[in-house]
Structure 1
Amino acid sequence: MKNSAKIPYGIRNNRLVHISQLTRAERGGRCGCVCPECRTPLEARMGDIVRHYFAHARGTRPCAGGTETGIHLAAKQLIADRKEIPIPLLQAVLEAKDSLGYKHTESKVIFPGHDRQPVDDTKLEFSLGDIRPDLIVSLGQIEILVEVAVTHFIDAEKQQRLESRGQRCIEIDLGDIPRNLTPVELEEHVFNYQRAYWIVNPKIEAEQEKLRPRLQQQIEKANKRIAQANIAREQEEQRQREQHARMEAYFKAQEQKHAELKRQREEEQRRAREKATEQAEIRRREAEVARQLEAKAERHRQQKTWEQERQQLDLHEMRHLAMELFASCQRIHARSGKVATSTRFCLPMARHNLERDIHKMDLEAIPTAVETRTEYDWMFGVPSREWKLVALLGVVYTRESIQSRYWISIQAIERYLGEFGYQPIVALQRAEQLLNTARYYHILAEDPALMALELLPRPLDAIAEFVGELDNFNMIHLLAAKLDELAFIPKPANSWR
């Protein structure tokens, strides 16, 4: 079985031997050493490359603790051979907490520590009842138990037994040292008082008792300072509370004062508004009375003026004018039926726009409904063909009206013709003015001459006749209604007759 455990120490003739203490002639199995842990034969591996070490002989079962056991035994053997021990720092430390939980400490160094303290005698593995220390050393009349810790340290149970006996005991901590140290290097670690510490020493407890009054005094002083600080803090908090209460009372009084001032200002403003409202209402009433008086005076003045104007009217002349206007319209009507329709356009705008609009709407010929004569063709004093074409191409048959499919009223045609420049003949206009005068002055209401003027046509009558012809030739869809409410929707040209 191959074994790779590197052991620095072996036992020969019941004494520990380091690998560096062998000669070349003793390498291999000739070293005569056994394992410190399992006591099986070792071989000295002393090559030229790797650092020398012991290993379990071939054919033996290796153990895991040979290295640590060797170091442990070597340290004990060094102490026994040198008759010296490291004395660790001996210090009494006492701790306590004040009322706030802060830690206070009193300490005293009894012995500062020493690396090599000569001893009178050493005993290895000497049993003391239920305790078997690594060494017992004698220093005068004092015995000190020494424990060398490499892997196994003193546990709580063993420490309790030591404390119950009051036996001085130190422990040397070699747990973290390298495992391949030479005896000289190991000696430096063993005799280093910083690696040793006291497990039990009766002097510590005695010194702690001496330190206890001082620590108690320190705690009392700290608690006194804490109590004084608490009192001062409480007093300061009370002062701040009182100051806060005073400030709160002050601000509350100021707030009430400001609230009262605000209420007074608002009351004054309310009264001022009420007074202003009352004054405004008085002025409004006075203005209303003045307006009514003025309106009454104006009505009286207008009534007086109306009466004066009415008295100045010549009723005979008005009857005569009414008969002349009616006769004039009759003559124009009669003459219009005998005169052939002219193909010329009277208004310059008509001459300029109609040919363009006919071409724009792709009309190959003038629609028959336009050429057809109606009773009131003479209304506008121009050839009926002209104003009918203007109405057709400006309102009835346009790209917008065909696409929108909205209802069109005859008032729209009347407005368009008026904007275009077509007005009723002068006789009709004067007849309308005469009728309006008679109605305004409440005269000649039943006079035959004035009643005859009522029979004369209006522009809407002529437009209604034209719209009727458009419906007859299937150019529009007419909505049957009163004259003033007539409306229609244009139809496409391919449906015309």
Structure 2
Amino acid sequence: MSDFNKIPFGLREKDQQFVDVYSVKNGKQCGCICPSCGTPLEARQGDINVWHFAHSNKKVYDKTKNECEYSFYLSLRLMARQVLGTKIKLKLPAYKDNIEYFSGVFRYRQYKEFFVAPEQEITIENIAVESNFCDVPVDVIGSIGQFNFVIYFTHPDRIVPNELFHPNNDHCGVIEVRLDALSQQFMNAKVENKTYDDILLNFLSDDTVSKIWIYHPRYAIKKEQAIKELEQSSNIKIQTDDMHHTEPTNRLQSNYYTKPSVIEPIVNHSRIVQFKCILCKVEWQGHEAGGNLCPKCNSHLYSRMIETDT
């Protein structure tokens, strides 16, 4: 199902509703057109290949309105908007992030994990599709009490806009839903005796692996609390603290969408500590800041602080 010319859902001409290939007649009697380019479709419901819609033969290509690209993912997005209706329950993944900090004289990089929200099930009401939020088009926007909730579908060549990482409305939540996993699930539909409708609805409702938090209204508060706890327990102070979401360099390989806080250790420049060179085994005393130069090797590369004078 990786071929973008094979699409699981077609647009039924008589009522302009998206339908599953399992719910229509076989062949050209399906009465559907491609939701991407408008070309007539035929339902291919064979015994060997996975069931799918296909564009009709070249003789009807003169009916094509636009060049067809990424029909598979476009049909997924359009059908997903339809099956959500006006109200739906969704399982959401836990949201966690890391604070990055450096400890010790040699500034060893360390991380402290903190949680923003547990895995949970929510009910989204008053759903509207293909609306604007923060001046960008989004797939779905609904409400949870007094909060707006936004869903943005992604796939190859479609990523989350930067504006959704920094919404001007902090009473909202934004979730990315990656549609890539559906390709393999659809390939197994016939073996598992499932329809594409069923797979898509279960995916949207229950799958948590493909849902990624983009913005959470409690993120800044939870991060600030974690930083204060780290300061109190580890005698460190904040050097740089970016309390806002920033898009990572490689989004497809990252589950975190925030820039880590960099926290520096508190260094007492006058304190005398014990050092040891792991190369030549020499030990000596020196100031915590700058006293780590080995008197024999004349280098700090192999020195380690082994004892402090309190």
User: Would you call these one fold, judging by a TM-score over 0.5?
Assistant: yes
- Is the CA contact (8 Å cut-off) linking 1:104 and 1:215 kept in structure 2? no
- Is the CA contact (8 Å cut-off) linking 1:8 and 1:180 kept in structure 2? no
SS at match of 2:183: coil
Q: Aligned ranges for residues 312-391 of structure 1 at < 5 Å?
A: none
1:294-342 Cα deviation digits (max 9, x unpaired): xxxxxxxxxxxxxxxxxxxxxxxxxxxxxxxxxxxxxxxxxxxxxxxxx
CA distance in 1 between counterparts of 2:4 and 2:219 reads: 47
Task: Identify if the C-alpha distance between structure 1 residues 189 and 122 changes in structure 2 by more than 3 Å, giving closer, same or farther.
Answer: same
SS at match of 1:109: strand
Task: Identify if the C-alpha distance between structure 1 residues 135 and 126 changes in structure 2 by more than 3 Å, giving closer, same or farther.
Answer: same
Bigger CA radius of gyration: 1
Seq. identity, %: 22
**Aligned pair partner of 1:188 in 188, 202, 211:** 202
- Residue 204 of structure 1 aligns with which residue? 219
Task: Identify if the C-alpha distance between structure 1 residues 201 and 74 changes in structure 2 by more than 3 Å, giving closer, same or farther.
Answer: same
> Is structure 2 residue 195 aligned with structure 1 residue 148?
no
CA distance in 2 between counterparts of 1:68 and 1:4 reads: 8
What is the CA-CA distance between 1:229 and the residue it aligns to? Answer: 10
1:246-286 Cα deviation digits (max 9, x unpaired): xxxxxxxxxxxxxxxxxxxxxxxxxxxxxxxxxxxxxxxxx
SS at match of 1:231: strand
Tell which has more relative contact order, 1 or 2 (C-alpha 8 A, sep 6+): 2
1:109-135 Cα deviation digits (max 9, x unpaired): 242113x42222211112236122110
Amino acid across the alignment from 2:202: E
- Residue 213 of structure 1 aligns with which residue? 228
Structure 2 gaps of 5+ residues are 187-195, 237-263, 277-281, 287-295, 297-310
CA distance in 1 between counterparts of 2:4 and 2:159 reads: 27
Task: Identify if the C-alpha distance between structure 1 residues 187 and 38 changes in structure 2 by more than 3 Å, giving closer, same or farther.
Answer: same
CA distance in 2 between counterparts of 1:50 and 1:194 reads: 28
- Residue 17 of structure 2 aligns with which residue? 15
- Residue 239 of structure 2 aligns with which residue? none
Structure 1 gaps of 5+ residues are 245-497
Cα RMSD (Å): 3.4
CA distance in 2 between counterparts of 1:19 and 1:88 reads: 31
Q: Aligned ranges for residues 85-484 of structure 1 at < 5 Å?
A: 85-91=90-96, 93-98=98-103, 99-114=105-120, 116-128=121-133, 130-151=135-156, 152-155=158-161, 157-160=162-165, 162-166=166-170, 167-178=172-183, 181=186, 182-191=196-205, 192-220=207-235, 223=265, 231-233=273-275, 236-238=283-285
CA distance in 2 between counterparts of 1:4 and 1:134 reads: 20
- Is the CA contact (8 Å cut-off) linking 2:93 and 2:208 kept in structure 1? yes
CA distance in 1 between counterparts of 2:270 and 2:22 reads: 70
Amino acid across the alignment from 1:43: E
What is the CA-CA distance between 1:237 and the residue it aligns to? Answer: 1.5
TM-score, normalised relative to structure 2: 0.64
Amino acid across the alignment from 2:8: P
Task: Identify if the C-alpha distance between structure 1 residues 212 and 18 changes in structure 2 by more than 3 Å, giving closer, same or farther.
Answer: same
CA distance in 2 between counterparts of 1:179 and 1:33 reads: 24
1:73-109 Cα deviation digits (max 9, x unpaired): 2233333366123322133543322353323334432
- Is the CA contact (8 Å cut-off) linking 2:153 and 2:176 kept in structure 1? yes
TM-score, normalised relative to structure 1: 0.42
More helix by share: 1
What is the CA-CA distance between 1:230 and the residue it aligns to? Answer: 7.1
- Is the CA contact (8 Å cut-off) linking 1:7 and 1:53 kept in structure 2? yes
Task: Identify if the C-alpha distance between structure 1 residues 126 and 5 changes in structure 2 by more than 3 Å, giving closer, same or farther.
Answer: closer
CA distance in 2 between counterparts of 1:127 and 1:46 reads: 38
CA distance in 1 between counterparts of 2:266 and 2:272 reads: 10
Task: Identify if the C-alpha distance between structure 1 residues 174 and 4 changes in structure 2 by more than 3 Å, giving closer, same or farther.
Answer: closer
Task: Identify if the C-alpha distance between structure 1 residues 105 and 18 changes in structure 2 by more than 3 Å, giving closer, same or farther.
Answer: same
Task: Identify if the C-alpha distance between structure 1 residues 170 and 129 changes in structure 2 by more than 3 Å, giving closer, same or farther.
Answer: closer
What is the CA-CA distance between 1:218 and the residue it aligns to? Answer: 4.3
> Is structure 2 residue 93 aligned with structure 1 residue 78?
no
